Every structure is written in structure tokens, then in C-alpha cells.
């Protein structure tokens, strides 16, 4: 039996693949490499001492994903595959709805046909929309402010409806906060295409000299230093959260939404200082206007993850920055 990881060659999927292989799972990766490369899968194999099965498949091709279930005995799925750039989703909403929603529908059809009823889905803290009541809890009101966020909300609903139609399904909706860092080996990490959207990959590119300075989007928020506050967690902690979720859905049917975050908020300038301290590099920055759509403060109440899954994030800011720097100086 194997676990299928859609989007398993991507940033979070590759770290999760390595952790799963290390924990003894058989892993099948299905990816179209729209935002990743097959080389990553080789590194995963090197790290784990065991290579995952790899299928170059686009979830938009129904027959392709169906064939994966025919070829391998899959008993559960972790569904990472999707487009994830918020700004791009505003410019190209149809592409986002088509890729993320149609891809999920095709996956669920194939799962249903092959009697595979366990799925862990990569949702996001973005489903709390413009909420201001931090820390965010799973039963807080949900909303979206851009097409990317809507796809996450819609897929959560689709999976709830699938379960309503058949209570043998077991669904974990993992709402990630801000994953950062890289594998401590330095072999895998995040390699953004073009200008990074997210804070830590941008900082890494300033540190390696690829960009002259960081743009800090707003210093007039109601936060201790005026810059935006987020819940940053190490990508390896996030990966281990998937193993816990997988263990949980193997034992329990139903639908559970679970926050994966540390429960601690950190500002942009605190993150810059943490990275500078660890790397010894200076990160010059320029204060810019607020980025449209950004909220001021976002961090998780991680209680449910602890109680239900037995998961808590273990690594601190220093380790997140050290592992990012270790990866960046060798790879970027
Ligand atoms: P990523 O882009 O690195 O990985 C996604 C992978 O999916 C890529 O390898 C890409 O090639 C693949 N893919 C995309 N569309 C596909 C399709 N139609 N068929 C097959 N493969 C396809 O992104 P990531 O950071 O690893 O994120 C994984 C998931 O987690 C995404 O669904 C993302 O929305 C979600 N998420 C990410 C973050 C974050 O900050 N990174 C936060 C919250 C949620
Ligand atoms: N920021 C900067 N400069 C940059 C990039 C970011 O100042 O160049 C600031 C942002 O304004 C924000 C903070 O750094 O205050 C974090 O921004 P990110 O873009 O790294 O992360 P977001 O919280 O905006 O969004 C990320 C993902 C979303 C996901 C969300 C979940 O991009 O897809 O985390 O919490 F939904």
C-alpha cells in the first residue's frame, strides 16, 4: 500500500515525501512540474535512502490520474497540487479555479472509482479571510479575499460534501499558517520562480545578493513595530503534521479542519533581525506602502492539532532561518 502525494515534488510536498519515506511509508508522487522539477525527487530519494515512485501527471487530465490508481495500490492521498500565488490568482482567476478545483474534482473521481477514501488536503490560513480575532480557531467564520483563497474554501466544501454523500470517507483539511525554512540537509528547499511573493524567500535572495533590498510592506499596522505579524513554522514541522494527520484519518472517518501553526506571531522586522543574527548577513530594507489584501496579524490557535493529532511545532525561528540560509547559500 502507498500514499499518493499530488504536488509531491513541490516545496511542502518534497519535505513531506522525505519524512514519510523515513517513517517507512511507500510514497507515490504525482506532479506536472508546473512549479517544481524532477531533480527534487532524486534529492528526496537520496535523503531517505529510498526513492519514491514518480508519475508525471497533470490532475487536469482525468485519465492520467486514474491510471496512477490503477498502477499503484493507493490507500490514502495527500493533496498538495495547486497554484498558490495570491496576486497571480487575481490576474488569472480562471486558471486558478480550473487548476485547483477541476484538478481536485478529477482526483476525487479517481479516488471514488478506486475505493480510496482517505485524503489530507492542503488548505490555508487564508480561509480566515480578513478576520481580526487572533488567534484563529477552526470554528471561526470563513471567507476569502482573492480567487486563490476561494479555491481553498471551495475545496474544503467539496470534500465536506463528498463525506456527506459517503460517511466512509476520512478527510483532514489542514490549514497551514506560514511554512518557511528548508530541509536541514540543505538538499531541498523552496526555489521560487521569478520574483518571490513571500517574505522568507525574498530575504534569502537579498542575502545571496540577487536582490538589493527587501521591500517591507507597511510599518503602520497596529502591531508592536508596525509591520505585519505572521505565524511562521518550519517546513519540517509542517511535514510531520501530515504524518500525524495521515495516522489520524486511518483510524477515524469524518471531516476535520485543523490549524497547523505555532501559535506565535512574529513581525516582518523581527524576522529580518532573526535572519541577520543567524546568517551574519545584513538585510537592507525599504519601507513601502501596505500590500493590497494583507491583514495586519495572523496566527493560529494550534490547540486542536495538539489534542486531535498529537502534533505541535518544535522548531524555533533560529532553526527556520539557519536551515533557510544553509539551503539558500548553496542553491540560490
Ligand atoms: P508548490 O508550488 O511548491 O507545490 C505545488 C506542486 O503542485 C508543484 O510541484 C506543482 O508543480 C504541482 N502542481 C500544480 N498544479 C498541478 C496539477 N494540475 N497537476 C499536477 N501537479 C500540479 O507549493 P507548496 O508551497 O508546496 O504548497 C503546497 C500546497 O499547500 C498548495 O496547495 C498550496 O496552496 C498550499 N499552501 C501553501 C502555503 C505556503 O505558504 N507555501 C500556505 C498555505 C497553503
Ligand atoms: N512581506 C514583506 N515583503 C515581502 C513579502 C512579504 O514585507 O517582500 C510581508 C507581508 O506584507 C506580510 C508578511 O511579510 O506581512 C508575510 O508575507 P508572505 O507573503 O510571506 O505570507 P502571507 O501571510 O501573506 O501569505 C502566505 C501565503 C498564502 C497563505 C498564507 C497563510 O502566501 O498563500 O501565507 O497564512 F494563504
**pLDDT, tens digit, for every residue of 40-98?**
999 999 999 999 999 999 999 999 999 999 999 999 999 999 999 999 999 999 999 99
Q: Which ligand is nearest to the CA of 177?
A: 2
Average pLDDT over residues 85-114: 97
**Does pLDDT of 225 surpass 90?**
yes
Distance in angstroms (rounded) separating the CA atoms of residues 139 and 165: 22
Does 12 sit in the ligand 1 pocket, CB within 6 Å? yes
The string of DSSP letters for 18-78 reads HHHHHTT--EEEEE--SS--HHHHHHHHHHHTSPPEEEE--TT-HHHHHHHHHHS-EEEEE
Closest ligand (CA of 96): 1
Give the distance (Å) from ligand 1 centre to CA of residue 35. Answer: 8
- Ligand 2 contact via 183 beta carbon (within 6 Å): no
Mean pLDDT of 96-112: 98
CA distances from 215 to 200, 210, 282, 290, 320 (A): 12, 14, 14, 10, 21
Q: Which among 11, 96, 148, 299 is annotated as catalytic? A: 148
Q: Residue 110 above 70 pLDDT?
A: yes
Atom of ligand 1 nearest to the CA of 103: 18
Which residue matches cell numbers 504524518?
243
| Count of CB atoms situated within 10 Å of the CB of 6 | 29
**In the block, residue with C-alpha cell 540577487:** 210
Q: What is the pLDDT of residue 331?
A: 86
Q: Where are the beta strands (DSSP E) in 200-241?
A: 214-217, 229-230, 232-234
Q: How many CB atoms lie within 10 A of CB 30?
A: 30
CA 76 to chain centre: 18
The whole-number pLDDT of residue 190 equals: 96
Kindly give, in sequence order, each residue whose CB lies less than 8 Å from that of residue 114, ignoring residues fewer than 6 positions away.
66, 69, 70, 74
267-314 residue pLDDT tens: 999 999 999 999 999 999 999 999 998 999 999 999 999 999 999 999
Ranges of beta strands (E only) in 164-221 are 170-176, 178-180, 214-217
pLDDT of residue 291: 94
Query: Does the beta carbon of 298 sit less than 6 angstroms from any atom of ligand 2?
Result: yes
- Ligand 1 binding pocket includes 175 (Cβ within 6 Å): no
Residues 6 or more apart from 4 whose CB is under 8 A from it?
28, 29, 30, 68, 69, 72, 74, 76, 77, 78, 116
pTM: 0.98
Is there a contact between 42 and 200 (Cβ–Cβ < 8 Å)?
A: no
Rg (CA), the chain: 19
Between the CA of 217 and the centroid of ligand 2 the distance, in Å, is 10
| 148 is known as an active-site residue | yes
At 116-165, the pLDDT tens digits run 999 999 999 999 999 889 999 999 999 999 999 999 999 999 999 999 99
- Using a 6 Å cutoff on CB, does residue 60 contact ligand 1? yes
pLDDT, tens digit, for every residue of 16-48? 999 999 999 999 999 999 999 999 999 999 999
pLDDT at site 15:
98
Residue 332: is its pLDDT beyond 70? no
- List 151's β-bridge partners, or say none: none
Amino acid at each position: 500500500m502507498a500514499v499518493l502525494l499530488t504536488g509531491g515534488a513541490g516545496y511542502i510536498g518534497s519535505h513531506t515525501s522525505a519524512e514519510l519515506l523515513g517513517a517507512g511509508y511507500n510514497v507515490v508522487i504525482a506532479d506536472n512540474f508546473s512549479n517544481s522539477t524532477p531533480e527534487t525527487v532524486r534529492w528526496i530519494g537520496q535523503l531517505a535512502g529510498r526513492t519514491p515512485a514518480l508519475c508525471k501527471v497533470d490532475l487536469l487530465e482525468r485519465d492520467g490520474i486514474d491510471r496512477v490508481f490503477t498502477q499503484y495500490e493507493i490507500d490514502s492521498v495527500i493533496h498538495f497540487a495547486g497554484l498558490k500565488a495570491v496576486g497571480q490568482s487575481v490576474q488569472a482567476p480562471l486558471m486558478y479555479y480550473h487548476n485547483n478545483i477541476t484538478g481536485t474534482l478529477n482526483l476525487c473521481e479517481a479516488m471514488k472509482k478506486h475505493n480510496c477514501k482517505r485524503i489530507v488536503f492542503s488548505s490555508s490560513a487564508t480561509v480566515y479571510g480578513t478576520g481580526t480575532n487572533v488567534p484563529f480557531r477552526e470554528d471561526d467564520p470563513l471567507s476569502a479575499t482573492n480567487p486563490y483563497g476561494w479555491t481553498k474554501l471551495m475545496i474544503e466544501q467539496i470534500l465536506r460534501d463528498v463525506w456527506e454523500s459517503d460517511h466512509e470517507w476520512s478527510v483532514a483539511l489542514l490549514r497551514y499558517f506560514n511554512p518557511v525554512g528548508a530541509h536541514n540537509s540543505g538538499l531541498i528547499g523552496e526555489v521560487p520562480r521569478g520574483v518571490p511573493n513571500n517574505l522568507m524567500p525574498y530575504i534569502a535572495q537579498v542575502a545571496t545578493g540577487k536582490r538589493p533590498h527587501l521591500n517591507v510592506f507597511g510599518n503602520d499596522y497596529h502591531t508592536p513595530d508596525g509591520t505585519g505579524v505572521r505565524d511562521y513554522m518550519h517546513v519540517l514541522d509542517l511535514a510531520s503534521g501530515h504524518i500525524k494527520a495521515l495516522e489520524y484519518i486511518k483510524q477515524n472517518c469524518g471531516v476535520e479542519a485543523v490549524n497547523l501553526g505555532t501559535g506565535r506571531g512574529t513581525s516582518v522586522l523581527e524576522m529580518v533581525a532573526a535572519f541577520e543574527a543567524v546568517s551574519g548577513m545584513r538585510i537592507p530594507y525599504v519601507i513601502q506602502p501596505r500590500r493590497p489584501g494583507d491583514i495586519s496579524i495572523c496566527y493560529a490557535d494550534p490547540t486542536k492539532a495538539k489534542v486531535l493529532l498529537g502534533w505541535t511545532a518544535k522548531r524555533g525561528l533560529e532553526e527556520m532561518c539557519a536551515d533557510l540560509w544553509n539551503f539558500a547559500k548553496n542553491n540560490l
